[in-house]
Structure 1
Amino acid sequence: MKYNLSISFCVVLGLLMLSCGQNRKEEKVMHTQKQIIAKDILGNPDYQAISYGGYRKKSRDSQPTIPQLKEDMKILSAMGVKVIRTYNVQPKLPHASNILKAITELKKEDDNFEMYVMLGAWIDCLNAWTDKVPNHNVESPNNAGEIDRAVALANQYPEIVKVIAVGNEAMVKWATSYYVQPDVILKWVNHLQDLKVEGKLSKDLWITSSDDFASWGGAEDQYHVKALEDLVKAVDYISMHTYPYHNTHYNPEFWHVPNAHEGMPDITKIELAVERAIKFSQKQYDSVASYIKSLGIKKPIHIGETGWASVSSDLYGDNGSRATDEYKQGLFHQQMRAWTNRVGISCFYFEAFNEQWKDALNSKGSENHFGLFTIDGKAKYPIWDLVDKGVFEGLTRDGNSITKTYDGNEADLIKDVLVPPTKEGVTTPH
């Protein structure tokens, strides 16, 4: 009898241990499967965001393969990025849908892999990108299909797509090739919000439009129209762009070296100039916030784009504003991340990798060089520290290991650094 009781005790104990183990497994599965929604992501510094295009060639006709996209997603994940932004869902450019497939495969291979998407739907005016005169008061008939495809992808991949952005810089007046009036964006935002109410889109999916700070009321009065007010009410959050880099040419007052700084070391002049660039972005952010507040509306405001190019043969290079090099790119990236993380702003930094299709006829055009990585996978100065930490060990891009630009020689990098002009003229190079 004593022997049988001992056996019974062991059996019961074993069953209890098995039950506890099973419960822990179920808890782990539940934790892994916890639904992350846009509200959890945006403004959360644990979910770093970046704008992403995986194009390697000079034409988007050459689409990156799913294995290439998976390589890129692993690289971005290693550096702490968990949210990427795409720009269109055009039928002949399956880039966004392939990204979603790539992320799905990675999640199947690793339950702990996390990557979410802000899915862009491109919006144009009538006659955009044709030899006809753009009609900015009438929208392109292609817009409806773009929205339908975005909806389909959001429903197909609800665990990945957390935001739909209606248009990219689609309202700002300097986008002369394609901009539309705010009522067009409002129409499609309302359409998507209605689908959420009808249960045809997830109620947790956030809807926005990603546009220049001016388009969100942060600049001239010409943007302050009733349709914009209604749009602010309709979106789930404001996604604004701010580019002090471009304004080193178009609005350079903040960029020029003040007379009082002329006797300072060149590196100090540069560092102070980048600090002023950050303040320039903060001022634009505040101008949008003030406009939204003036309407009596409360909406989160996040940065849908900002960035700094590392090469330029145009307005921002040696013969222009002298804003362009990897050293300044590194300073800007570091300070922009520090500011936005500190105050709870998501920043879709532009961009992950260089893309040469953007200025295919000019290899040194600045638009080709906003990436934190070169096309062949070299890490630029802003993320040299991540290479030192070994976060990219075992990862490759198109067969290339992740190494530093300039072979990691900061002295060589500094030789290419340009000093901003003084208010009277151009500062002598090093």
Structure 2
Amino acid sequence: MSSPAPATGVPAAATATDRHTRPVRPARSFRSRLFLPLIAVCTAVTAANIYLAAPLLPLIARDFGSTPSAVAWLASVAQFGYAAGLLFFAPLGDRVNRRRLVAVLTLAAATALVAGAATGGTYALAGAVLVASAATVVPQLLVPLVAERAPAHQRGRHVAAVIAGLFTGVVAARVLGALAGQAFGWRWVFLGAAGLTALLGLATSAALPRETPRLGGPLFAGLTALPGVVRRSPELWRACVRQAGMYGAWSAMWTTLALLLTEEDGYGMTTAAAGLFGLFGLAASVTAPLAGGLVDRFGAAKVVRTAYAGAAVSVPLFWLGGHVMAALCAAAVLVHAALVASHVANQTLALTTTSAPATANTAYVVAGFAGGAVASAVAGTAFTHWGWGGVCAVAGAWLALGWGSTAVRGRAPRRATGA
């Protein structure tokens, strides 16, 4: 009779040893070792598409015979598109085959980017950017999958790798997009983004595991459940509104920064030089793991308050930065740190305070991007009429609305991570 398998679940033959050998452990396949890095890189490339137009605004305006401030609203179109994509497509991850959904969205985004590169006017480009951004929700389909498949003791590390990829994509869009745009033109940047999106997206789709959708029923049942989930959770409502205020303040200043840096009334930089300013966004990569530890130790409420205080300090620094480069650099680091710390804390609330975390996460991310999109649109108009001071005023107003509208709402029952 054969001997029983060891308690580890590894077959006995695989663990047999003699005095000259050590236990044989099952090797990780080459495909499994590449799975997480592939998803992280795919997340970076797809997330970059949302911010692709912002550093290229001066080049786009010159090509269309306009002014950068007159086309600044293209940046907000991208954010509106992403918010719409989150609202309609992200909840489908529980109801359709994710492999097929990732492939379809990837091809849609790549096609829209190619169409954008071929456009001859602002409105046609806006339509292409809208479609490309709406299809760029692949990261929000991949994060839950990574969390499900990761070993319990490494789940945080795996999810953090994907989030790091997302913020790397945001930085790359501004830095590499601006450098490539200066060298080859903005249309080639769009074509390059289309090629990378198709390559990484389809490769990721092929690498995803075969799975059966977990939920049945109507495709958009998750969408119809959103209002009820938010209404039943005051903490989720606060997280949504506060992140909309924080993201709106960041977006107002960051999407119009290229105008300040490149226009003659500002710093008069080239598009490439202005793009290098995006390297200050690397502050986000350092802040994310620190913020996670602070949330675990002190609770989400204190982290959000500290983040809002940091963002509030960054607004007058940004205003001063209209004339003093050192202040602009300090403000850029501070606002990125505040944004990421707030995001980590608020998303913790969104994912842990309801019985429907996927639906709550959709509501949270949509609220944040909707707040950012509106702020970007208002900031573009403010820059046209009142210059950089008007943009800083919009950022300050968004912070005041995000915090003030939640502070006056009745207190919810206190939780360990509550606000």
TM-score band by shorter chain is under 0.3
Q: Relative to total residues, which structure has the larger strand share, 1 or 2?
A: 1
Q: Relative to total residues, which structure has the larger helix share, 1 or 2?
A: 2
Q: Which has the higher contact order (CA 8 A, sep 6+)?
A: 2
- Calculate the TM-score normalised by the size of structure 1: 0.26
The structure whose Rg is larger is 1
